[in-house]
């Protein structure tokens, strides 16, 4: 395992990090075992979120007494200062620490999100205050909207940017990564396996290792998955013709049904929470159906509000059959609700 500098934060972290979503579906003892295995195999960077249910608590439990040996990142969806500060305090408690290395404003996707976080009494104000108080060391941002991510980078307000990056969603390698590098920002790659859609970890990692200053944050749910991913980092990275053909095959097969979570389709005039509802199938595979039903209830119930106006499909740059996909996800949600898989 190599250790690299996370841009201008100067934080020294492992070349691959640990994404905190899949441990949600593990019981506490198993989650602690998986987290400790990751540490034993050299992973020192752990990224989670207030939103990820008990993920922070599990990370806090796994590394109690080891704070100086790891680098912790977490985030909030909140847009106003008071609620963001509550999340920071809660994260500190759950993670059993008195400082968070990297605190990120989560999923700043649309202009209204940027305006809200940067407004007086917006979330950024709280995070800056927490940094002054020593509760947070560096401030980062995450997004799924490429144009907005570039804009966020250019504001100069953040030390890191986190965006999906994998061989299906490789667009960030151009303008976004270039703009972040120019400002010496840390670059974090969420969804290195496209949220579970890429089931060939070896090829996924081969692609990512071609961009050594981009730190992938795969989620792990077992000791075996940690061992597998770490093993690919111990080898020379050679992307073969066969690997490239396989990547192309995935791209072609998924092209017509892969939601990039960019939110261009929103808002729905009838109140359907399109983007999170589009992600239900992936969420259910990562969290387990029972947890996903509870986690996604509000989003999935909103699908019933669809009036089939088609506006979202006109706005989707990937021309996805959104209505059809929402219906399929809703049917799956209903099955899960009924206890079927
Ligand atoms: S449905 Fe299309 S526009 Fe909406 S989030 Fe997915 S990819 Fe983006
Ligand atoms: S088709 Fe349905 S989900 Fe799409 S914008 Fe219209 S009402 Fe909303």
pLDDT digits (tens, 9 = 90+) for 35-66: 999 999 999 999 999 988 899 999 999 999 99
At residue 231, what are phi and psi to the nearest 5 degrees? -60, -35
Of all atoms in ligand 1, which is nearest to the CA of residue 266? 4
What's the chain's average pLDDT? 94
332 and 184, same structural domain?
no
CA–CA dist 80, 186 (Å, integer): 25
Domain tally for the chain? 2
Residue 331, Cβ density class (10 Å: 0-12 exposed, 13-18 middle, ≥19 buried)? exposed
Of the three residues 230, 245, 260, the one that is the final residue of a domain is 245
How much is the CA Rg of the chain, to the nearest whole Å? 19
CB of residue 278 inside a 6 A radius of ligand 1? yes
Give me the helices (H) in the chain, please.
Answer: 28-40, 55-62, 81-94, 111-118, 123-132, 146-155, 175-182, 201-208, 223-233, 241-254, 274-278, 280-287, 289-302, 311-315, 322-337
Would 82 be classed as within a structural domain? yes
CB of residue 23 inside a 6 A radius of ligand 1? no
Q: Which ligand is nearest to the CA of 316?
A: 1
Q: Which ligand is nearest to the CA of 267?
A: 2
Q: What is the mean pLDDT of residues 313-324?
A: 89
Would 49 be classed as within a structural domain? yes
CA–CA dist 284, 74 (Å, integer): 22
pLDDT at 255: 66
282 and 198, same structural domain?
no
Residue closest by Cα to atom 4 of ligand 1: 265
Query: Over the stretch 252-289, which tens digit does the pLDDT of each residue have?
Result: 877 667 888 777 788 899 999 999 999 898 888 777 88
Task: Give the number of other Cβ atoms within 10 Å of residue 200's Cβ.
Answer: 14
Q: Which ligand is nearest to the CA of 302?
A: 2
CB of residue 312 inside a 6 A radius of ligand 2? yes
CA–CA dist 275, 280 (Å, integer): 9
317 and 215, same structural domain?
no
CB of residue 271 inside a 6 A radius of ligand 2? no
CB–CB of 76/106 below 8 Å?
A: yes
Query: Over the stretch 79-120, which tens digit does the pLDDT of each residue have?
Result: 999 999 999 999 999 999 999 999 999 999 889 999 999 999
Q: How many angstroms separate the first and last alpha carbons of the chain?
A: 38
Q: Which ligand is nearest to the CA of 109?
A: 1
222 and 294, same structural domain?
no
- CA torsion sign, 83 to 86 to 91 to 97? positive
233 and 283, same structural domain?
no
pLDDT at 264: 78
Of all atoms in ligand 1, which is nearest to the CA of residue 322? 1
Confidence of residue 321 (pLDDT cuts 50, 70, 90): very high
Instruction: Report CA(198)–ligand 2 centroid distance (Å).
Output: 28
CA–CA dist 215, 194 (Å, integer): 15
CB of residue 262 inside a 6 A radius of ligand 1? yes
pLDDT at 326: 97
Residue whose tokens read 């090829």: 203
Would 269 be classed as within a structural domain? no
> For residue 162, which of 175, 182, 174, 176 has the smallest C-alpha distance?
176
134 and 217, same structural domain?
yes
308 and 224, same structural domain?
no
Residue closest by Cα to atom 3 of ligand 2: 306
Lowest mean pLDDT among 61-75, 153-167, 276-290: 276-290
Nearest-10 Cα torsion for 267, 141, 282, 291: -100
CA–CA dist 91, 103 (Å, integer): 10
Domain range enclosing 307: 274-337
Would 129 be classed as within a structural domain? yes
pLDDT at 188: 98
Q: How far is CA 291 from the centre of its chain?
A: 18
CB within 8 A of 161, min separation 6: which ones? 140, 141, 142, 143, 149, 152, 153, 176, 180, 185, 186, 187, 188
Q: What is the mean pLDDT of residues 64-73?
A: 97
- Classify strands 12-14 and 3-5 as parallel, antiparallel or unpaired: antiparallel
159 and 66, same structural domain?
yes
CB–CB of 41/226 below 8 Å?
A: yes
Would 126 be classed as within a structural domain? yes
295 and 210, same structural domain?
no
Instruction: Report CA(28)–ligand 2 centroid distance (Å).
Output: 39
pLDDT at 159 over 70: yes
Query: Over the stretch 181-201, which tens digit does the pLDDT of each residue have?
Result: 999 999 999 999 987 788 899
CB of residue 275 inside a 6 A radius of ligand 1? yes
Of all atoms in ligand 2, which is nearest to the CA of residue 307? 7
Residue closest by Cα to atom 7 of ligand 2: 306
CB within 8 A of 340, min separation 6: which ones? none
pLDDT at 250: 87
194 and 144, same structural domain?
yes
CA–CA dist 73, 66 (Å, integer): 15
CA–CA dist 138, 290 (Å, integer): 35
pLDDT at 134: 98
Confidence of residue 220 (pLDDT cuts 50, 70, 90): very high
pLDDT at 14: 98
């Amino acid at each position: 395992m190599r250790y690299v500098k996370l841009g201008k934060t100067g934080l020294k972290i492992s070349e691959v990090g640990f994404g905190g979503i899949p441990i949600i579906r593990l019981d506490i003892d198993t989650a602690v075992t998986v987290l400790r295995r990751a540490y034993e195999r050299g992973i020192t960077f752990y990224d989670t979120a207030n939103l990820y249910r008990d993920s922070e608590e599990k990370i806090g439990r796994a590394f109690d007494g080891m704070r100086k040996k790891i680098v912790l990142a977490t985030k909030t969806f909140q847009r106003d200062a008071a609620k963001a500060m509550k999340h920071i305090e809660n994260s500190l408690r759950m993670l059993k620490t008195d400082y968070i290395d990297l605190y990120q404003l989560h999923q700043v996707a649309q202009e209204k999100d940027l305006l809200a976080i940067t407004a007086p009494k917006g979330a950024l104000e709280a995070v800056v205050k927490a940094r002054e108080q020593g509760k947070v060391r560096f401030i980062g941002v995450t997004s799924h909207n490429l144009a907005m991510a570039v804009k966020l980078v250019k504001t100069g307000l953040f030390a890191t940017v986190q965006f999906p990056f994998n061989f299906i969603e490789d667009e960030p390698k151009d303008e976004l990564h270039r703009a972040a590098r120019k400002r010496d920002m840390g670059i974090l790659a969420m969804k290195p396996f496209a949220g579970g859609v890429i089931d060939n970890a070896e090829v996924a990692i081969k692609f990512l290792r071609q961009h050594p200053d981009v730190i992938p944050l795969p989620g792990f749910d077992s000791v075996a998955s940690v061992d597998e991913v770490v093993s690919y980092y111990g080898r020379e990275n050679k992307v073969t013709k066969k690997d490239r053909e396989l990547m192309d095959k995935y791209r072609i097969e998924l092209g017509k049904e892969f939601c990039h979570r960019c939110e261009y389709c929103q808002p729905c005039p009838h109140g359907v929470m399109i983007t999170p509802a589009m992600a239900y199938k992936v969420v259910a595979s990562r969290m387990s159906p029972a947890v996903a039903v509870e986690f996604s209830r509000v989003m999935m119930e909103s699908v019933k509000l669809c009036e089939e106006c088609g506006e979202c499909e006109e706005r989707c740059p990937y021309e996805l059959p959104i209505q059809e996909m929402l219906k399929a996800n809703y049917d799956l949600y209903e099955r899960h609700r009924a206890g079927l898989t």
